[in-house]
Amino acid sequence: MPTPEFRGAAEHLCASAELAERGLALVFDVLQYGEPVRAFALRFDGRVVAYLNRCVHVPTEMDWQHGVFLDGDQRFILCSTHGAAYEPLDGRCVGGPCGRGRLTALAVEERDGQVYWYPSRDIRPVSFDAPGPRGEP
């Protein structure tokens, strides 16, 4: 269940079956403080987790190839730029130049065979702030 600081309505992400255990992540676009940023969701130890695709060391995207975030042993999320390693289940830095940092998590929920994420005050769906077809908010 989402934590209380997450307040937006559930945003559908994908079918549960699309996220294989320690497999390819689903990469998707969000807005952080109104700016476009990529996020990703992957399954690890049966749980779906999601983070902004932004390294703590330097704010850059981390995947080796599109959707490939885990290291060769499929144990840690690894930044392809300088090798920072993060614990997949909580985003905590466990090695490399990310210090005591932690990836920015998105609240996710899996129910009825589907995966959802929850916007927060700072992280919103791309469509959230987009103007309507006639320019209305």
- Binding residues vs ligand FES (CB under 6 A): 55, 57-58, 60, 79, 81-84, 96-97
Q: CB count, 10 Å around CB of 82?
A: 12
Quote the CA–CA distance of 97 and 78 in Å, as a whole number.
Answer: 11
Q: CB count, 10 Å around CB of 116?
A: 18
Q: CB of residue 56 vs ligand FES: minimum separation in angstroms?
A: 7
Q: CB of residue 77 vs ligand FES: minimum separation in angstroms?
A: 10
Q: CB of residue 62 vs ligand FES: minimum separation in angstroms?
A: 6
Reported as half-sphere exposure (CB side, CA atoms, 13 A), residue 105 has a value of: 19
Which C-beta is closer to ligand FES: that of 10 or that of 68? 68
Which C-beta is closer to ligand FES: that of 69 or that of 116? 69
Sequence length of the chain is: 137
